[in-house]
């Protein structure tokens, strides 16, 4: 289990986690937003799993710039 404080940021919820001293975004966003704005999987029939609120969690490293 990972517990992370998150803040509401418009249509998403966002927080920061560190793995080996590298900061990562962690966001909870709607399945619709995930599928419209992000390329997560190369499979053409990819359908992300969601929680009871129809939201997905996304983890990505911060930019070096």
Rounded Cα gap, residues 57 and 27, in angstroms:
6
Long-range contacts of 35-43 (CB under 8 A, 24+ apart): none
Q: What's the confidence (pLDDT) of residue 2?
A: 85
Q: What's the confidence (pLDDT) of residue 25?
A: 95
Dihedrals phi, psi of 34, to nearest 5 degrees = -55, -45
pTM, two decimals, is 0.76
User: Which tens digits make up the pLDDT trace of 14-53?
Assistant: 999 999 999 999 999 999 999 888 888 888 888 999 999 9
Task: Quote the DSSP letter at residue 37.
Answer: H
């Amino acid at each position: 289990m990972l517990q992370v404080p998150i803040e509401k940021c418009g249509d998403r919820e966002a927080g920061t986690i560190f793995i080996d001293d590298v900061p990562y975004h962690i966001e909870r966003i709607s399945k619709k937003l995930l599928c419209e704005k992000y390329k997560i999987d190369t499979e053409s029939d990819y359908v992300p799993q969601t929680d009871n609120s129809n939201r997905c969690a996304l983890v990505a490293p911060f930019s070096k710039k």
